[in-house]
Structures are given as C-alpha cells and as structure tokens.
C-alpha cells in the first residue's frame, strides 16, 4: 500500500508513538495496539488517493491524528490542519508532528469546529479545500461542523462505518441546506484492509 520507503518508516514510527505515548495518555486503548495497522493506519491510508493534488486539509476532531497525520505522511504534496480542542491530544499531535518531521506541512489548531462555525473563541476563520473527520459523530450532526469549513467547490471526506448509506439518507436535507450538491459513498482499500474503508464524499457548490 505504501511504497515510499521514507513514508513506511514514518508510519512505523507513528505506530510506535501511538502504541506508547498514545496509550499512556489515553488517546488509544490498549486493546487497539495489536490492530493499529489494519484498523487505524492502513484504514486511513487507503483513503488518501481521494484527496486532490496539493490540497489543504482540515482534520476535524483529529484526536491522535487519524487520518490527518497518516495522510500527511503518505502524501508530501498536501498540508494538514489538525483541529483538536483537548489539550492533551493537541500536545501529543504537536510532539508527533515534530518527531515525524512534518513541521511546516502540518499544524495543530486547538479549537472546536462548531465554535469556529459560530464565530466563537480565538479561531473564527478556517477553511480548506478538503475537510475530513473519522469516528467523530453521525453525519447529520457532523455536517454542521464540517461543511462550513469547506471552501466553495471543495469537499468533505468523512470516514464512516457500515451505516454510511443510512447516515447519508438521514442527512440529505442538512447537506443540501449547507450547499452540498453531490454525495457519493466510496469504498477504498479492498484487498488491503478488511473490511474496506468507507468514505462519504460530499461536494460543495462553487
């Protein structure tokens, strides 16, 4: 899946950080360590081909950096903003970015997406070509926090589970109201991860 030697080394180092400091600080459960690669790292990595070339990305509710840090490791052409409100997670992200040599292409913004959307708090303006989120909230709620951060003509790439189709149907009116003009459900990573990664791709009007 990841052919670049440097990227493979960085992903391996990131896995080590997740398995040690990530577990110690409560970002990753101890039971997740044996399945870090399949369930988390590769699950995120297989979705990165959906990201347009040279795109800027906002990872909403970044947590331990999934998918934002994985995407930045695999794709040297993109820039990533890890949006994370909790201090302990933001600190881990900043340390990981430094350790992995991603400074300059990846930044951490400590804020809540919904506060940015409502113009509250220290960060009131943040937009990107691509906005992503993984395991944050049902799409009907998630859309209100993420779509406003998508630039006109940009897209939301939400990593979801098997309920993706139901979530899309439940959120169609919300998505339309927020300016989404096209929604697709894309399965990626067949033969690499099992089950395949499911991504809801929502395109915003220009």
The pair of structure tokens assigned to 168 is 């899309």
Beta strands in 87-205 (DSSP E): 106-109, 128-134, 150-160, 180-188, 197-204
- Under DSSP, is residue 85 helix (H, G, I), strand (E, B) or coil? coil
pLDDT of residue 3: 59
First to last CA, the chain: 33
pLDDT of residue 70: 98
Distance of CA 177 to the CA centre of its chain: 23
User: Contact at 8 Å (CB) between 94 and 20?
Assistant: no
User: Contact at 8 Å (CB) between 110 and 90?
Assistant: yes
| Distance separating alpha carbons of residues 192 and 104, to the nearest angstrom | 30
Average pLDDT per consecutive 10 residues, the chain (206 residues; last block may be shorter): 80 97 94 93 97 98 97 97 96 97 97 92 88 92 96 97 94 97 96 95 97
Class of residue 14 by CB neighbours under 10 A (exposed 0-12, middle 13-18, buried 19+):
buried
**Closest alpha carbon to 18 in 107, 73, 89:** 89
Peptide bond before 195: cis, by omega within 30 degrees of 0? yes
What superfamily in CATH does domain 5-204 come from? Answer: Vaccinia Virus protein VP39 (3.40.50.150)
User: Contact at 8 Å (CB) between 99 and 92?
Assistant: no
User: Contact at 8 Å (CB) between 134 and 44?
Assistant: yes
Its pTM surpasses 0.75: yes
**Closest alpha carbon to 134 in 71, 204, 74:** 71
Q: Tally the C-alpha atoms within 13 A of residue 132's C-alpha that lie toward its C-beta.
A: 32
| Distance separating alpha carbons of residues 44 and 42, to the nearest angstrom | 5
User: Contact at 8 Å (CB) between 67 and 93?
Assistant: no
pLDDT of residue 206: 93
């Amino acid at each position: 899946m990841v052919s670049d030697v440097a990227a493979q080394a960085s992903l391996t180092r990131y896995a080590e950080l997740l398995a040690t400091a990530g577990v110690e600080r409560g970002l990753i459960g101890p039971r997740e360590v044996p399945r870090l690669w399949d369930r988390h790292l590769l699950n995120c990595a297989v979705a990165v081909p959906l990201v347009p070339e040279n795109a800027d990305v906002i990872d909403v509710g970044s947590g331990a950096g999934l998918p934002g840090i994985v995407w930045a490791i695999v794709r040297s052409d993109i820039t990533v903003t890890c949006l994370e409100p909790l201090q302990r997670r933001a600190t881990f992200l900043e340390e990981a970015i430094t350790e992995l040599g991603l400074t300059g292409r990846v930044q951490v913004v400590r804020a809540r997406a919904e506060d940015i959307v409502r113009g509250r708090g220290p960060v009131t303006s943040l937009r990107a070509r691509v906005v992503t989120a993984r395991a944050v909230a049902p799409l009907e709620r998630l859309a209100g926090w993420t779509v406003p951060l998508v630039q006109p003509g940009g897209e939301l790439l939400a990593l979801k589970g098997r309920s993706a189709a139901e979530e899309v149907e439940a959120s169609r009116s919300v998505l339309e109201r927020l300016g989404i003009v096209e929604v697709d459900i894309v399965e990626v990573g067949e033969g690499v991860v099992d089950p395949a990664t499911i991504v809801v791709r929502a395109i915003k009007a220009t």
